[in-house]
Every structure is written in C-alpha cells, then in structure tokens.
Chain A
Amino acid sequence: MAHGHHTSGHSTQVQPRDPAKIKHLLVVTGILAFLTGIEFLLAFTMPRGVVLTSAFVLLTFVKTFYIVGEFMHLKYEVKMLIWTIVLPPLFIIWLITALLIESNYILDAIRAIFG
C-alpha cells in the first residue's frame, strides 16, 4: 500500500488485514442481526405481557454484552476497568426494578382516588 512521506522517527508501517479478526467481527454482527430478528418475531407473534417484556429485556442484555464487550473491546480490557464500567449499571437495574414496581402502585392509587 503506497504511503506518502512521513517525518523521520515514526514508523507507520501499514500492516496487512487480518482475515480472522474481520471474520470474528462479522460473526458478532450476524449474532446481533439474528437477535434483533428474534425480537421482531416475538413482537409480532406473542401477546403483550410480562413474559414478552422479560424476553425483550433479556435479548437486549445479550446484545449489550456483544456491543460493549466486542465492538467497544471491553471484554479484552483490564478486569478492573471492566468492573468500573459494569458495576454502576447494575445499580441502575435495581433502580429500574424499583420504579417499575412503584409505578404499578401509583396506578392503583390513581384508580382508587380518581375512579
């Protein structure tokens, strides 16, 4: 690959493509596309309810694992960095759960007060 002039001292030698790495990325892409396809399928075939929502949440987490772990390379980073990023969202998950339960109580209260 032709490379123009570069300042002395910097060796920016172009390395050839690694087909194994590219293949791995395409496999992950395929997995993401497949999971999204399943989500669409479920959205159109299953009735709405807790089971469907749980399925969506689960599939979204699997997709998150692939995007953050592979595309953003977090799986290959130092363990401490992985935990630094993963731990706060675990607290967010607690917050989600708590607020979803709360909102049901609020709905009951609205029904009870306003009829």
Chain B
Amino acid sequence: MATVVIDEKENKNIWAGAAEPFKASYGKLMMWFFLLSDTLSFSGLLITYGFARFDHEAYRGAVEAFKASTQYWPIPEKVFTHIPFFHINAPLVFVGLMTFILILSSVTMVLAVEAGHRNDRQDVQKWMLWTILGGIAFLSCQAWEWSVFITGTPEGLTVNDPDGTVRLIHGANLIQNEYGPRLFADLFFFITGFHGTHVFSGVIINIFVFYSATVGKFDKIGSYEMIEKVGLYWHFVDLVWVFVFTFFYLV
C-alpha cells in the first residue's frame, strides 16, 4: 500500500513501531525475507550438487573422446547436446537459449515494474504479458529438455549388474542413468524440477497479477506495488536459474 512518510524529528526511534525502518512496505519486506529463505533452500540443493560432484571421480581425458560411464561424473556439454527439430550436435545451445529467454522475461518484468511506478496500466499489461509468455516458453523448453534426458540416446550405456547380468540402458530416471553416476540424474531432476516448480508458480501468480492489473484493481487502490513484489519473486527465480545454469551445465 502507499508508504508513510516518516518525519525523523517527530519519531526519534523508528524501531519503536508504527514506522517503516527499512522504508519498505510490509508486503515488500516480507517478500524479501521469503526470498532469503528460498535462497537457503536452493543453496542447500546446489551445495549438495557440488558435494556429490566432487566426491565422484572426474573424467580425465580428452573432451572429444568422452564416453559415458557410471565410474566418473559426466561432462555436461557432452550430455546436453540436443536442440529441437535439428539432429545435430549442439552442446549447451539449448540451455543457453533457455537462459536467454528467462533473462529477457526478467527484463520485461522490470519494465512492467517501471510502468507501475508511472501508473501506466497499458504498459503494465503489455510487459506483464511478455513476462508470462517468457515464463511459459522457459517451462516448455525445460519440459522438452527433461523428455530428451529421460529418453536417452540410441547408443545407450551397457551396465554390468552386480549379479552378472549385462543390460543396455537408455536415458535417465531416478533409478538408472545412461550418462553417468545415478546421482547426476537424481540431482538434475530434483534441482531443475524444484526450480521449474518455482517458475510455474511464478507464472501462475503473474497471470493473477496481470488479471488484477487489467480489471483496474491497482488503479483503484492507487498503487502498483504488487507488480514490484511479484517482480522480486520473478527476478529471484531468474537468479536461481543463473546459478543452476552455471553450476550444472558449465562447471
């Protein structure tokens, strides 16, 4: 809601209550604190990934000669090589596109917030719509990435079971992984899935806020601060993706 202007001379102790010591409204502050707690969650997951990664053997050899094995951690640019519609080897191209889409949707979100500051409903609608579309595009890309990862390559991986049976496995799920150690697939699904859930909920919330803006709710209450709060969440989701992208696909 509208912020209250504090006269410091009148209210000497701004921590005594009925004031805004951070000059931010309750809703905005609570969103920041929620994001802080969510940072801890994602940090836990990414640290787990780092821990798992570095207590497995690393592949030591030429990148070109890389072959998948459960004995060492895979090289991500040898695993994530597919792009839609084209059957060529395009390492990390698709995930780069996903990053670009999400960063762009973050930019359109900032523009929506900026339009909200000017009480410009038309611009808010326009930029929120682009942000929603960007989020849906990202989710679609992630879904495709998952399906390719689960389906696997035609070559597959020959696995020797402890009881002697030899199997040819394709793709990855929570039990078997064609690309490398099982933990690699487990963590891939969990981390990108958890992030994808955040993107999905963000898209839903953005749709609600877009609807509210369209029917004139923010004009009526006189403030577009909801756009800002929802914008903070969306930027956080983008930031997490930057980290996931760096630590999962690049390192």
Contacts and interface: CB of A to CB of B under 8 A. Distances in A.
Q: What bracket does the count of chain B residues touching chain A fall in?
A: 35 or more
Interface in B92-110: 92, 96, 99-100, 103, 106-107, 109-110
Nearest to B232: A72
Given A7-B220, A25-B107, A92-B39, A12 B242 contact: no
A38 to B, nearest CB: 11
B192 interface: no
Q: Main SS of chain B's interface residues?
A: helix
B118 A16 contact: yes
Contacts of A56: 246-247, 250-251
Contacts, number: 149
Given A12-B119, A64-B239, A43 B50 contact: no
B54 A78 contact: no
A39 to B, nearest CB: 6
B186 interface: no
Question: Would you list the 7 A-B pairs with minimal beta carbon distance, nearest first?
Answer: A15-B118, A103-B54, A103-B55, A81-B22, A106-B55, A103-B51, A107-B55
Interface of B: 21-24, 29, 32, 35-36, 39-40, 43, 47, 50-58, 75, 77, 91-92, 96, 99-100, 103, 106-107, 109-111, 114, 118-123, 216, 219-222, 228, 231-232, 235-236, 238-239, 242-243, 246-247, 250-251
